Structures are given as structure tokens and as C-alpha cells.
Structure 1
Amino acid sequence: MQIYLWSSPWGALPVAVENGRICAIALDPGAPFAPVGTGAVARRATGPITSAREVNRILNAALRGQLSARERLAAVDLSWATEFEQRVFRALASVRFGETVTYGELAAASGSPRAARAVGGALGKNRVPVLIPCHRVLASNGIGGFGGGAGSSWRPGATDPIAFKRALLRGEGVDA
């Protein structure tokens, strides 16, 4: 596993890359970053990422809405996620920049229409925020929650996670 620094709008943030794919993004530059490995057997890089320059290109393009769902999914390693979580993450990757979806709509899109709460649980385990844009998921009655990625305890540029979620959405032209 390689750790690269992403020159994000919130400062230098650590990004873990395994087998050429991003497997974790830490939104807390001050916290210890020890991402759990995917458990996959070591093999040659099969993804597009082999340098800090490529990490920065991909993540900054994602923030600007310049990556398709296919490109985002090609950049991430989801082997750590359960089959259900992978379905949720793939469905979420298809939600375009500047658009939102409710937990219930995402549950239906991932093939489990009655699993809105389970979708929320899956999003709480998302290790690759920005590429799997969990900030685009809203509750049916409002903004909903936001964890900023699995293991994240700090949200850059905000006093609370919901303020950070709102800032990400505003950056996409969404008023939530």
C-alpha cells in the first residue's frame, strides 16, 4: 500500500492506494492514518494510479465534476466492502455532480428498495468520500447525516459534519 498526499482545498490529506486504486481518503490531516488493507493478495497494479500527481489529478477532477461514474469507479478499490455496500457505492457513483438522491432512492437504485437505513449504514463505512460522493445523499425530510468517510473524526473547514456536507453541496451548486 502506498500513501500519497492530496493537495485538497482543505490542505494536504493522506490517500491510500493499493494495486493502483484508491482504497481510503482521510479528511483529517491531523489524525493518525492507518487504513485497513483490503485483504487482497498483493498483485501488480491494475488501476490507473501510480503517483501523487495522478491522485491529485483524479481527486481534483472529481471535486470539479469532471469524472464520469465509470472513471470514479475505475479509480477506487472496493474489495473491502460487502456485496450490498458495493451495490450501494456503484449506484451512488452514478449520481451526477450537482444532483442529489435520498436514502430511499439510493436503496431502490441499488436493488434493495426497502433498505434505506442499511444504505445509511453502508455510507457510514465509505472509505473513499469524494469519489463515492456520500454527501449527495439526503434524507427524505432534509439534509440527513454525514460522516466524511470511515474513520474520519474531523471535517475540514467546518465546525460540524453537516456544515461540511452543505459546503460540498454548495460547491456543486446544490442548496440544501
Structure 2
Amino acid sequence: SWYQVRLRGVRGTASTSDIALDRITVSTANTAVATTSATTKNRRLSYQLVPSSRLYMGLHTSGSPFSVYVRPSTTYLPASVCGGSPGCTTPQTQSASAETTLTITLNDIYGNSRSAVAAVDGSIPNTLYNSKHEDGIVCYLESDTDPNMRLYGFVSFVSGSQYQVTFVPSGLDQTATQRT
């Protein structure tokens, strides 16, 4: 799939669009152009199509504001406990048959909150979010028997600086008996 990015500028100023998912930054200047009729027209900013595969990196959390460690809950295996140290720094392995779903909650350790702002897309009112947040987080489960086999999950925004992803471990590999 493709995401359509539309850039708009104000006459004589620069317009910058920061696609936070992969830090794809596109800048353009929308300057006035004089015509023979002594009127002024703005240059048109064309649409840019960015393939969705360019909007995330598989190892996005490496070097990002997120430090995430996941282990199964000691009292309820279908749940998980997330966080940094203490206690979550060692990967835990458990049987795939012991749980049907694994829910992971992530918090931005820098406390960057994602807050809504009123915006207008063309003539249509729209709710957008400020740029002080991290998007495009990619989480995955890795097979204990084959590190090249991974099950990726879509991370969704919950509120503030909190994100969440849910996996169905059985979707990783029907033959392996262990999941990390």
C-alpha cells in the first residue's frame, strides 16, 4: 500500500513534512512567482507517494527513545509485564500452547505525549497530532528455533505516551513449540 503525503506552504516560507515513521523529511519552498500580468501566483506543490515499506524499519526500537523488555506475567500467562530494569532484562521463553495472545504495552521513556490539534485538510476539518511523539514502532516475536522467523505486530497508539501491540504466537510457526 501507499501513503499519500501532501505538502502545503505559505507564500514565501518553507514547508517541512516529517514522516516520523522512518524520519523521511521532505522540505519544499512555496515562493511567489511574478507573471507578465503583474499578478503573483504560488507555485503548486505536487503530491508525493511514499511506499508504506519505507515508513518503518524492522529494528526501529534500536537506538530509539524506547527501551522495551517483555516477559510473561507470573500469575497470568496470557498477559505480559513490560519495562526496563529491574526484572525484565532477560528474555523469557514459554510454550506457545500456554497462551493464545500476548499483549505488550510500551511507554515512551522520554514522556513525549501525543496530543490532538485542530487542523484543516483542504476544506475538511481534521484532527491531527503534534510532532512530539514517536510513531512507527515495530514489535515482533522471534522463533526460538529459527531467529530468522519473526511475527511482526502493528503497534497502535493508546493515549499520552503509551502504545500497545497484541500478538497471536501460534501465527509465528506451526511446528515450533517455544516462543520468546
TM superposition score normalised by structure 1: 0.23
- Choose between structure 1 and 2: higher helix proportion: 1
Q: Which is greater in Rg?
A: 2
Task: Say which structure is richer in strand.
Answer: 2
